[in-house]
Copies of this chain bind each other. A is one copy, B any other.
């Protein structure tokens, strides 16, 4: 983590309009015109701010027909926000990317020899690794009815409801009228 990146994060976020956008997107994704309307600004202005927020990775987007929906990446936001308290620490360099080794280690700790999840990790970082592993068995672009999703999760752990909820909460998938679909990888919080 280089200093300039941290400077840029705070510079970007140190703007009333952009903080208001972040506040809005915490409630859920919105498209450009909707944001412009809610903030009383013009679409080009929003475009300008969204570009900056995307540059620091706290916003990702998903297209639906003509409309682009902007999502807040809360995990990135929180990692970047706390970096300032770790200025100079060694830890600073490692926290932003989870290495493959680390993932393997967590997976081997939480799954038994039959591939069953022994318990749901309490720590967010580890929980995301486990969720990523489970969701990999599903197909991108395909639409699944709820029972299919439950069935898939039950292959790993009996508490399918909790895990299904986590999938939604951390933007691994989207639910629409009882059907579930994987989100594009950029929306995953890992």
Contacts and interface: CB of A to CB of B under 8 A. Distances in A.
Given A77-B85, A81-B82, A85-B74, A3 B19 contact: yes
Contacts of A78: 82, 85
A112 to B, nearest CB: 33
A20 interface: yes
Interface stretch (A8-16, A30-38, A174-182): A8-16
A27 to B, nearest CB: 8
Contacts of A10: 10-11, 13-15, 19
Dominant secondary structure at the A interface:
helix
A87 B81 CA distance: 12
A9 B14 CA distance: 7
A6 interface: yes
Interface string A84-108: 1101100000000000000000000
A22 B84 contact: yes
A121 B87 CA distance: 26
Copies in the complex: 2
Nearest to A11: B14
A4 interface: yes
Nearest to A74: B85
Interface string A18-29: 011011001100
B19 A7 contact: yes
Nearest to A20: B3
Contacts of A13: 10, 14, 84
B16 A14 contact: no
Contacts of A74: 85
B3 A7 contact: no
Contacts of A15: 7, 10-11
Contacts of A16: 3-4, 7
